[in-house]
Amino acid sequence: MNATPLPGFWRSGLLLVLLTLLLALPQAALLPLLDRDEPRFAEASREMLQSGNYVVPTFNFAPRYAKPPLIYWCQAAAFCVFGETTFASRLPSLLAVAGTALLLLAWGRALGSHAAGLIAAFAYAFCLQVMQQGRVATADALLIFFMTLTGYAGWRLLAIARGEDASRSWNGWGFVLAMGFGDGFLAKGPEALLPFLPLLFFARGLGAKMAAAFAALLALGLLPVAAWAIPAFVQTHGDYWREGLGHDVGDRMVTGFQGHGASTFGWYLLGLPLYLLTFWLSALPWSPLLVIHRRQLREAAPLDWTTRYLLANAALVFIVFSLMVTKLPHYTLPAFPFLALLVARCWMAAGRPPNAPLRIMLIFALVLAAITQIGLPLALPNGGNPSPVGALVREAGETLTPATHVAMADFREPNAVWEIRRIVRAPLDEISEADVASYLQQPGSRAVIISQAALGKILVDPAWRIYRARGFNAARLARLELALVIKP
């Protein structure tokens, strides 16, 4: 490791974190919760706070086994500080992206190049896929942070074992490695194990004592997982384990989960190189630099074990997720921190000026932030609202009360549960269009979310209050015209 004095880490790190968070704010604060996953995570975190059960999350008061609990704990903590808002639900992801960027800066400095660390941090935090997926209320950004932490701590331990790190802080980095793996598992599951495999491969020649030490660290990382998993197993009679691993993880590997994957073996084979193609779009704006300067970067690539270690971590992610049947572009994002640092090292080794990639990535991030800041306020009032249910709730005002019982008729998206339960205490019911009138006629305050087209087929009582809103379904990319019918 290079012992040459480098620019101040904390000053650069603080500016990096602030810049990462500030450029994410327009998207995180202005956009309603999109797709199906965001409102599921956010609502489960709210219900965790309301129920006081921090072991088994629920959505609409039914058990939600899709992910381990760390993201729910983080979102619940954010809700306690900032309220139950879209920004608070996305804050853990924003902090995780900033934390990953900080890790890359630290890793670059440990390699003797502050500039390489800064380029890698910008390349990760300000590439297109991270600026989309790293600013949503899901578990992916947390997983990537802890996988990067595991990879970095593993590299430090290998450097100590090889006599290249004079700090000799084995116990400290060993604890960080165990924490990275354990928290990564609690963030999303067994994917967190992937950085351990290159570590074990590169440690294979360091003796049996070293192998035993890494096995002990792996066991140490599993302790916090067990502290949650055992009570969860008991409370759910094993359903959390069977559904979370067997259904959510297992089905993604062998089937096109929720329609995201190949339906036949032939399409599966054709989809194997998918991530090699989507990478060039996901890694914008720095991926074109790999083409323009490919010869210089290839010739300047440091031929050392660190290069092979970074490449092994990135390649393993691409290989594993390419072999899975279910495919989504963001699945390979855990490889991006390792690729970003590898590219940054090659860039500096080639003698290229660091300002060029930094400037390109910063301009790209500023433009997207400006488009969001200007475009969203214009789109939302003009039928461009991806959460028309939220508009209905705001329009209904005090007509919708905590005691109101609400049902979803022909519109049953998770976003409706998240928006309605800002006010309503009870879970939302699901009914057919034919049952709308009878549901509303039951005693007490009642309400139904229904499409305006279906509402036209129902005999409406003059005493009912009807609110209407237009927008689009972000999950299905379809136009929406919804109504909220309330019987006070």
Strand 465-473's sheet: what is its strand order? 429-430, 405-408, 446-451, 478-487, 465-473
Cβ proximity of 459 and 436 under 8 Å: no
Q: What is the pTM of this model?
A: 0.93
Q: Is the pLDDT of residue 327 over 80?
A: no
pLDDT higher at 342 or 66: 342
Query: For residue 323, what pLDDT band results from cuts at 50, 70 and 90?
Result: confident
Predicted confidence at residue 240, as pLDDT, reads 86
Query: For residue 314, what pLDDT band results from cuts at 50, 70 and 90?
Result: very high
Q: Is the pLDDT of residue 8 over 50?
A: yes
Helix, strand, coil abundance in the chain, percent, nearest 5: 65, 10, 25
Q: Is the pLDDT of residue 300 over 50?
A: yes
**% residues pLDDT > 70 (the chain):** 92
Q: Enumerate helices (H) and strands (E) in the chain, giving the number of each.
A: 23, 7
* Mean pLDDT in residue range 301-308: 94
- DSSP 8-state secondary structure symbol assigned to residue 380: G
CB atoms within 10 A of CB 486: 20
What does the alpha-carbon distance between residue 446 and residue 18 come to, in Å, rounded to a whole number?
Answer: 46
In DSSP notation, 189-212 reads SGGGGTTHHHHHHHTTTS-HHHHH
pLDDT tens for each residue of 94-143:
999 999 999 999 999 999 999 999 999 999 999 999 999 999 999 999 99
pLDDT tens for each residue of 362-372:
999 999 988 88
pLDDT higher at 9 or 256: 9
**% residues pLDDT > 90 (the chain):** 71
- DSSP 8-state secondary structure symbol assigned to residue 397: G
Q: Is the pLDDT of residue 150 over 50?
A: yes
Query: For residue 41, what pLDDT band results from cuts at 50, 70 and 90?
Result: very high
* Mean pLDDT in residue range 407-430: 95
Query: For residue 258, what pLDDT band results from cuts at 50, 70 and 90?
Result: low
Predicted confidence at residue 53, as pLDDT, reads 96
Query: For residue 3, what pLDDT band results from cuts at 50, 70 and 90?
Result: very low
Query: For residue 7, what pLDDT band results from cuts at 50, 70 and 90?
Result: low
**Six-digit token string for 355:** 């300002």
Q: Is the pLDDT of residue 256 over 50?
A: no
Q: Is the pLDDT of residue 75 over 80?
A: yes
**Six-digit token string for 90:** 């996305």
